[in-house]
Amino acid sequence: MNSSAVDQRIRGLRPPKPYVDPFAAHGSVIDEERRPDGTIERALTVFLSGAECPFTCSFCDLWQYTIDGPTPDGALPAQLERVLEQTAAPLPTRLKLYNASNFFDRRAIPAADVPSIAKLSRAFSGVTVESHANTIGPAVLDFAWQIPGRLEVAVGLETIHPVAAARINKRLDLARFERAARFLADNAMDLRVFVLLGAPHVPAEESVEWTVRTMEYAAERGASVISIIPVRGGNGEMERLRTLGEFTPPTFAQLEDALDRCLTSGTTVVTADLWDVGTLSTCEHCRVPRIDRLQRLNTTGIPEARISCAVCGGA
């Protein structure tokens, strides 16, 4: 099946997309992040509304936060300005602009809006944006030159499992990822990487091992921060693959295993993505203290014993 047909199948299985206002951000959150130098940094994440990513990854659920068609000119600066006006002083030191797509895709981020976005970002010493490795190039430099803070680009590597990497419709090979990583390093920019736990087409019993291997691969290529993201269902394609035995939802215990094994990784910061972590399969008696433990590991990077539970034994 060619890529166009795969795209059509994935999109055809999706439930109806909720209405998204192109002039209103989905929201924002301030949290604390550990950085490679050991400091704790306050970060403001703004979830922008804009055009959908064109790559149509099989596991993606971010499409539901995007609009139909290209992002209108002026929409993103208006969203960001409104969030900044509503954020209490003092501002955090890092700004993360997540648009559920690719920051350097001009259908998602109109070229005319880049200077305005850069101007609104000047109060921050660090700025993070997200991008497919395929869109990393001159446009990255153009934006980096317009902001006084250091630019960090978040890239979805997902998995280096050879079968899964070829079948998740990511359109990314490792050589292209490595070129993107070198480009960022050569131009004094940081690389943040997203790694999947429970990637489709990876046997469930090998899931943690391939997450660890992918993390190690990214760290060796200069990733400063790596986030482990449990794959979520709900987009139709994951349910189809589950029926075929090609996808097994990750469990809470697997997320704990992955983070515990990745926590000591030199100067690279590895964290567990806790968005919707409460939906992962685990014991209701120990769920809350186990989530609290993962949050502490994310913040401190200091290993600590697993939570014991008389009911489930920590499963």
Residue 134 scores a pLDDT above 70: yes
Instruction: For residues 251 and 313, give the distance between their C-alpha atoms in angstroms, rounded to a whole number.
Output: 14
Residue 283, pLDDT above cutoff 90: no
E strand or H helix that includes residue 151: strand 150-158
Amino acid identity of residue 69, one-letter, is: G
Look up residue 278 and give its two tokens: 């409460």
CA–CA dist 116, 252 (Å, integer): 41
Residues contacting 26, CB < 8 A, separation 6+: 20, 47, 48, 49, 65
Tell me the pTM.
0.96
Q: How far does Cα 79 stand from its chain's mean position?
A: 20
CA–CA gap between residue 129 and residue 21 (Å, rounded): 21
- pLDDT score at 73: 98
Segment 258-282 mean pLDDT: 89
- CA geometry: angle 294, 217, 7, nearest 5 deg: 85
Q: What is the pLDDT at residue 299?
A: 94
DSSP state of 67: B
Band (pLDDT 50/70/90 cuts) for residue 281 is confident
For residue 148, the model assigns a pLDDT of 95
pLDDT in tens, 22-65: 999 999 999 999 999 999 999 999 999 999 999 999 999 999 99
The CA distance from 162 to 186, in Å, is 28
Tokens of 93: 């030191």
From 197, 132, 129, select the one nearest 169 (Cα to Cα): 132
- How is domain 3-300 classified at the architecture level of CATH? Alpha-Beta Barrel (3.20)
The pLDDT of residue 1: 58
Distances (CA, A) of 28 to 31, 32, 66, 100, 148: 10, 14, 16, 13, 22
Paired tokens of 256: 């704990």
- DSSP string covering 228-276: EEE----SSHHHHHHHTTS----BHHHHHHHHHHHS--TT-EEEE--TT
Chain center to CA of 233: 16
Q: What is the mean pLDDT of the chain?
A: 95
Q: How confident is the model at residue 315 (pLDDT cuts 50, 70, 90)?
A: low
Residue 313 has pLDDT above 90, yes or no: no
- How confident is the model over 293-309, as pLDDT tens digits? 999 999 999 999 999 98
For 61-117, the pLDDT digits (tens) are: 999 999 999 999 999 999 999 999 999 999 999 999 999 999 999 999 999 999 999
Residues 6+ apart with CB under 8 A from 109: 50, 71, 76, 99, 102, 103, 117
- Res 61: pLDDT: 94
In the numeric block, the tokens 């429970």 are attached to: 198
Say yes or no to pLDDT of 314 above 70.
no
What pLDDT, on the 0 to 100 scale, is given for residue 39?
Answer: 95
> Mean pLDDT, to the nearest integer, of 152-180?
97
Residue 188 confidence (pLDDT) above 70: yes
- Is residue 2 predicted with pLDDT exceeding 70? no
* Residue 265 pLDDT greater than 90, yes or no: no
Residue-range domain boundaries for the chain: 3-300
Give the pLDDT band of residue 4 (cuts 50, 70, 90): confident
**Which run of H or of E encompasses 91?**
none
Which residue type does 257 have?
A: D
Q: Are 164 and 129 in contact (CB under 8 A)?
A: no
